[in-house]
Structure 1
Amino acid sequence: MSAPGWLAAAFDDHRRELHAHCYRLAGNVADADELTQETFLRAWRARDRFEGRASVRTWLYRIATNAFLDTRKAAERRTAPASDILEWSTAIGPYPDVAADVEGAEIVELALIAALMYLPPRQRAAFVLRDVSGWTPGEVAAVLGVAVPAANSLVQRARRTVRGHAPADPQDWRRPVLTAGDEEILRRYREASGAESIRILLADDVRITMPPDPPVVGADAVAAFLARPLDWRTVPVRANGRPALVNYLRAEGSARYEGLVVDVLRIVDGRIAEINAFVGAAHVAAFGLPARLDPAPHL
């Protein structure tokens, strides 16, 4: 097989997992798309230098990881605020679930994605490779181009930070299994129209995160916020193993609905405990949905 042929085949074989890897590093689908494309371009330019000493998968992961690190060199010198990143960061976004996705284990819980954003880029890369993807210390070192002790040090420092922000049990880092009960709560949430019908679905301490706006906290405040008389159309989806809605808003005087926000629900004991709202057309586009919808015809 020619060099372009083997590279195209290898990239197609690993595209899905590479994209998921880039998402875990970057925290949103738009950046993951760009990093995945950059990975292929860099691999194409370097195709004649690939000697086969490592697997082509490891080689592609190394290229993807270095592409991420190159985009984050300035970020490595900054520190994140101590407050919940989901409340203030506009750099995080949901990852769409594919119903027939055989590599669903590649997708991780939204809470872990938020926790990873507290890490400097090289620690983030080391942690994702070692503790999320399950690579050996030697493999992590090879991808990062460092000695094994240096790779282990990066992982250890990352673990100390992640413990303060992620779910305590690593089993909770994987995307959860969406249940029929979750689907029913999503249906009722989608169809609810007044504050009371919304209120009964909510945990008492529920909150909405919606950066750059401040969070809305408490069942009464959240119910009142969601019951505002706005003209919405919604599409049910799944994201990071959670039930979600893509929301289209028609402004007064507008002829069409504009894709505005993706709501990702966290359901605990049959009640909505958290709604992570991701505002922006890029989040809608990540689900392969149109940017605009026409009003439904009158029957």
Structure 2
Amino acid sequence: MPPEDDPAAWLRSAFDEHRRALHAHCYRLAGSVADADDLVQETFLRAWRARDRFEGRASVRTWLYRIATNVFLDTRKAAAPRSIPAGDPLEWCADLGPYPDALLGADPQQDFVANETVELVLIAALMYLPPRQRAAFVLRDISGWTPGEIADALGVAVPAANSLIQRGRRLLRERVPDDPRQWRRPQLTAEDERILRRYTAARHPDDFRALLAEDVRITMPPDAPVVGIDAAAEFLGRPLDWRTVPSAANGRPALIGYLRRPGGAHYEALVVDVLRIVDGRIAESNAFVGAHHVAAFGLPPTLPAGD
């Protein structure tokens, strides 16, 4: 229970301690940093209003996760129902976004939050699940909650919680690796960083061709994907005026792109490219278009045109 003399100070301290873990949890539910920011803010407001009623039967972390999960479900209830297209969500879901590695702290290899943050492919696959199935799956198979804890959090009986978990697993079975160890955030390697430096310096189609796999795929919803080395090299090598910033997201190399349009006075934040590298070649580039994705990396909306 919070101390009776100052429950407000207790909550502020507890929230600061668990903020990063809570933000990563909200990202797994919502699929974008901007939505996770909003969910965390609303979670704090609800926890603040309920601070005197925290009874200590569960840990503070569990209590905050429960509030955050229900905030997510409430936001989805208020949203208009949407049909889910067939195919890869990385090709059609414009609501998805990358998670900057910098948000995970200075030493992600030793950090629980980083190890709990899942691979981008699983984040995308979760978009197939209805909100309650998604919440149950994330709490059970990623955060390790028991069916009883999930039932309590969602306000349902244990058999209903188990049913949500099992239905979520069945829907994801054909879309994610069978081994849960492959759901975890990958570790950025020295080779990844070397290829990212070459990708950053590339300007012409031949420069990109030397880096790409034959069956490379570029996704950029809502636009159609670009598939194959020839099409991708020509697409990436278009004569546009870019400024780029190398980074990392979801354990993968990432490149943040600013574009100056003809006659423009500055470069405008436009896109974050997250690369998947296989056997020394770029097998996939997931492009997330929009200044809000760039803002998630703590970068400005524009860069000056001069040197």
Greater mean deviation of Cα atoms: 143-152 or 30-39: 143-152
Out of 197, 202, 209, the position equivalent to 1:187 is 197
Post-superposition CA distance 1:105-130 (Å, at most 9, x none): 13211000001000000000000000
**2:85–2:92: 8 Å Cα contact kept in structure 1?**
no
1:254 corresponds to: 264
1:150 corresponds to: 160
SS in 2 for 1:149: helix
The answer for unaligned runs of 5 or more in structure 2 is none
Q: TM-score, normalised by structure 1?
A: 0.96
Distance in structure 1 (CA, Å) of the matches to 2:264 and 2:107 = 37
* TM-aligned CA deviation for residue 168 of structure 1: 2.7
Greater mean deviation of Cα atoms: 135-144 or 114-123: 135-144
Q: Does 1:69 align with 2:49?
A: no
> Could you tell me which amino acid in structure 2 is paired with residue 28 of structure 1?
S
Greater mean deviation of Cα atoms: 240-249 or 97-106: 97-106
Q: Does 1:118 align with 2:132?
A: no
Q: TM-score, normalised by structure 2?
A: 0.94
* TM-aligned CA deviation for residue 6 of structure 1: 0.8
Q: Does 1:136 align with 2:139?
A: no
Identity of aligned residues (%): 73
SS in 2 for 1:72: helix
Distance in structure 2 (CA, Å) of the matches to 1:173 and 1:296 = 42
**1:97–1:240: 8 Å Cα contact kept in structure 2?**
yes
Post-superposition CA distance 1:81-121 (Å, at most 9, x none): 11111111110000000243423113211000001000000
1:60 corresponds to: 64
* TM-aligned CA deviation for residue 280 of structure 1: 0.3
SS in 2 for 1:235: strand
> Could you tell me which amino acid in structure 2 is paired with residue 263 of structure 1?
D
Distance in structure 1 (CA, Å) of the matches to 2:219 and 2:179 = 23
How many equivalent pairs are there?
297
Q: CA RMSD for the aligned pairs?
A: 1.3
The answer for unaligned runs of 5 or more in structure 1 is none
SS in 2 for 1:94: coil
> Could you tell me which amino acid in structure 2 is paired with residue 44 of structure 1?
W
Question: Which runs of 4 or more aligned residues in structure 1 lie more than 4 Å from their structure 2 counterparts after TM superposition?
Answer: 74-77
Distance in structure 2 (CA, Å) of the matches to 1:21 and 1:52 = 21
- The 5 A counterparts of 1:235-274 are 235-274=245-284
Distance in structure 2 (CA, Å) of the matches to 1:94 and 1:180 = 21
Distance in structure 1 (CA, Å) of the matches to 2:38 and 2:71 = 10
**1:76–1:121: 8 Å Cα contact kept in structure 2?**
no
1:276 corresponds to: 286
2:23 corresponds to: 19
Distance in structure 2 (CA, Å) of the matches to 1:79 and 1:131 = 25
Greater mean deviation of Cα atoms: 129-138 or 226-235: 129-138
**1:76–1:120: 8 Å Cα contact kept in structure 2?**
no
Q: Does 1:208 align with 2:218?
A: yes
SS in 1 for 2:77: coil
